[in-house]
Amino acid sequence: MQRQEPAPGTLYLVGTPIGHLGDLSPRARELLRQVDVIACEDTRHSGQLLASLGAQGRRLSFHQHNTRSRLPQLLELLKQPLSLALISDAGLPGISDPGEALAAAARADGHEVICIPGPCAATTALVSSGLPSGRFCFEGFLPTKGRDRQQRLANIARESRTTVLYEAPHRLLALLDELVTHCGEDRPVQVARELTKRYEQQIGPTVGAAREHFRQHPPQGECTLVLGGAPLQPTTQHSEAELLRRLEQHMEAGASASDAARELADQTGTSRRELYALLHRRTTNLPQH
């Protein structure tokens, strides 16, 4: 049997549409109608959606500029105990939106935190990009300038997993320029524009081609970039003696055989099975006393 929702003293992180209003789930709809209090990133922005649902709950703002003052008030409401929903302007609260701090504080105070899942631009762009989705990283918005930005770009360029990035349209061309510099023109990318909306588009298939497209058609609307991973470097051949020496070093430092093999496999790209076999051969070749 489903549990009764909304429950008093529980924080609900509720996913809302990133464009198409039909993407609000029936569960989210029902919860927003019935919950005692709704914390909104922007009460005016969410007003229309909430009015269309007939949501009666008290509305409070919760955004990056009032997090510190609002957090204790929201925790107090949970303690009463009232039910509390958090929504952001669009998508999943906590993903490049306010949510993380409230979820952490509510958990630390012993309240239940439940996510009512909904659309998220990152995963929507990822799965429709056609780029590998088995392993991926989410970088959100990069720092806007300086060394931190350059460092993050350098790390992203080396990353072998698919990387998802958010960017504002007026900064998109600058980001594509930097990605060409760091990753080369041929690195695969899909720029997802206006996901779930009428003029939804995917622009690729490479960083160079996307940059060319947006030079011709200045970016408008919301964009999420899905960048293919760096090609895996061919693994350097390590001699058996070298591998054995490094395994023994790890074990002398206190690692178990399996931890030593796992660590060295990560470092050298040699398979763990091969490393175990080396260790086994060493043990069976040891002089018997």
| Rounded Cα–Cα distance for residues 139 and 158 (Å) | 14
Region of residue 146 (left: phi > 0; alpha: psi -120 to 50; beta: else): left
Terminal Cα distance for the chain, rounded:
66
- By beta-carbon proximity to ligand SAM, the closer residue of 139 and 222 is 222
Is 87 in contact with 41 (CB distance < 8 Å)? yes
- Residue 123 neighbours by CB distance under 10 Å: 17
Output the smallest distance, CB 117 to ligand SAM, in A: 10
Alpha-carbon radius of gyration of the chain? 25
Output the smallest distance, CB 96 to ligand SAM, in A: 4
Which residue in 81, 19, 89 sits closest to 50, CA to CA?
Answer: 89
Task: Name the phi and psi angles at 128, rounded to 5.
Answer: -90, -5
Output the smallest distance, CB 261 to ligand SAM, in A: 39
Output the smallest distance, CB 119 to ligand SAM, in A: 7
- By beta-carbon proximity to ligand SAM, the closer residue of 184 and 221 is 221
Which pair of tokens denotes residue 117?
Answer: 């899942």
Residues near 97 by Cβ (< 8 Å), separated by ≥ 6? 41, 88, 89, 91
- By beta-carbon proximity to ligand SAM, the closer residue of 163 and 224 is 224
Q: CA geometry: angle at 32 spanning 29 and 38, to 5°?
A: 150
Output the smallest distance, CB 124 to ligand SAM, in A: 7
**Binding region for ligand SAM (CB under 6 A):** 18-19, 88, 90-92, 95-97, 120-122, 166-168, 192, 194-197, 222-224
- By beta-carbon proximity to ligand SAM, the closer residue of 128 and 160 is 128
- By beta-carbon proximity to ligand SAM, the closer residue of 9 and 118 is 118
| Rounded Cα–Cα distance for residues 254 and 22 (Å) | 57
Output the smallest distance, CB 172 to ligand SAM, in A: 9
- By beta-carbon proximity to ligand SAM, the closer residue of 80 and 220 is 220
Output the smallest distance, CB 94 to ligand SAM, in A: 7
- By beta-carbon proximity to ligand SAM, the closer residue of 35 and 120 is 120
Q: Are strands 189-193 and 201-203 parallel, antiparallel or unpaired?
A: antiparallel
The residue nearest ligand SAM at its CB is 91
